[in-house]
Amino acid sequence: MLQTMVNQNASEAWLVTGRSLMFRVGGQLREAVEPVLTEEDAEIILAPKPELAGTFEKTGLVEFPVRFGPEALFDVTVMTVCGMPLTVIRRARREKKTGFFNWGSGR
């Protein structure tokens, strides 16, 4: 998914269980070709970093940076909306030095 964001120059990805993945490209939200997210997918993709799980349980909201490969930086927001998890992944516009969660090689 992150590789698709990089390839399509998407500024955001929106993930909701039971819906197709959405990418924002050129200011427009577009539905992805990928299949609809299942609950099993959501448990993996929408899960916050383990050390933030307590905060997510209490507040229903966590944010953290992600590095994908050597140059792709993302800000991840995981929140509960109407009892369902929603994840918004945005391309970061600034360099970050610490606190990364690595989601793959970015190759």
pTM here is 0.76
CA–CA separation, 5 and 102 (whole Å): 16
pLDDT at 106: 43
Every domain of the chain and the residues it spans: 2-93
List phi, psi (to 5°) of 19. Answer: -125, 160
pLDDT tens-place string over residues 10-19 = 999 998 877 8
User: How many Cα neighbours within 13 Å face the side chain of 101?
Assistant: 16
Which of the pair, 89 or 96, is modelled with greater confidence? 89
Decide which of 1.10.3720.10, 3.30.450.90, 3.40.190.10, 3.90.950.10 is the CATH code for 2-93: 3.30.450.90
